[in-house]
Structure 1
Amino acid sequence: MNDQEHREHPGQSKTAGAFDIRTIIGGLLGFYGVVLVIVGLFFTSDEQLAKGDGFHVNLWTGIGLLVTSAIFIAWARWRPILVEEE
């Protein structure tokens, strides 16, 4: 690398990757979303449906969490946080 290239790129940078808070939040929301979708599909009783006026609360909340998780992870991929190396 010559002096001109060194001046144009003073510090090398890399992405935060797995340590980006958006990735961590997206992973946790995704995990809870999967759990709620499974509970909503396979372990919902008629009594629980009656409490929610026939609305599958766990299922729809799980789907919402999965969508939110996908948004967080996509955001972290499209706009990564750059950390400068010394």
Structure 2
Amino acid sequence: MSQESNRPDDEQLAQGEDLEKVSAAARLFDVRRVIGGLFVVYGVIVTLLGIFDNSTEIDKAQGVRINLWMGLAMLALGGLFLLWLRLSPTEVPTAKAEPDADAGPREPVGN
């Protein structure tokens, strides 16, 4: 009898763990995190290239340090995506109460 009384708690615990896994996966694979992260990584690379550009590359771009400016723009855009993720996090899906199949109909069947 003691095992039967603990069974609903075990099922609720298992459902809670499943819900945690789903919410963690939803947060991990949020598109804003992926896009923001990629823009930040590429922004750092392009900014470093822009800082160390030689005069030949700058002359090719008509005197504009295009790598530097585009790298900084990419960093800003990636930062905005990550800020958006921080200010508006992914909502955790909630478990909906489903009627038990074994419980039968809730209302008596009319004549």
2:66 corresponds to which residue?
57
Q: 1:47 aligns with which of 40, 48, 56?
A: 56
Structure with the larger strand share: 1
Q: Percent identity?
A: 34
Deviations 1:26-74 (A, max 9, x none): 00000000000111112x1211111111110000000000000110000
**CA RMSD, Structure 1 to Structure 2 (Å):** 1.9
Which amino acid letter does the alignment assign opposite residue 18 of structure 1? Answer: L
> TM-score normalised to the size of structure 1?
0.76
Which amino acid letter does the alignment assign opposite residue 76 of structure 1? Answer: L
Aligned length, in residue pairs:
74
Secondary structure in structure 1 of the residue aligned to 2:92: strand
Structure 1 segments, 4+ long, off by >6 Å, are none
Query: Looking at CA atoms only, which structure, 1 or 2, has the larger radius of gyration?
Result: 2
> TM-score normalised to the size of structure 2?
0.60
Structure 1 gaps, min length 5 = 1-11
* Structure 2 Cα separation of the partners of residues 37 and 18 of structure 1: 27
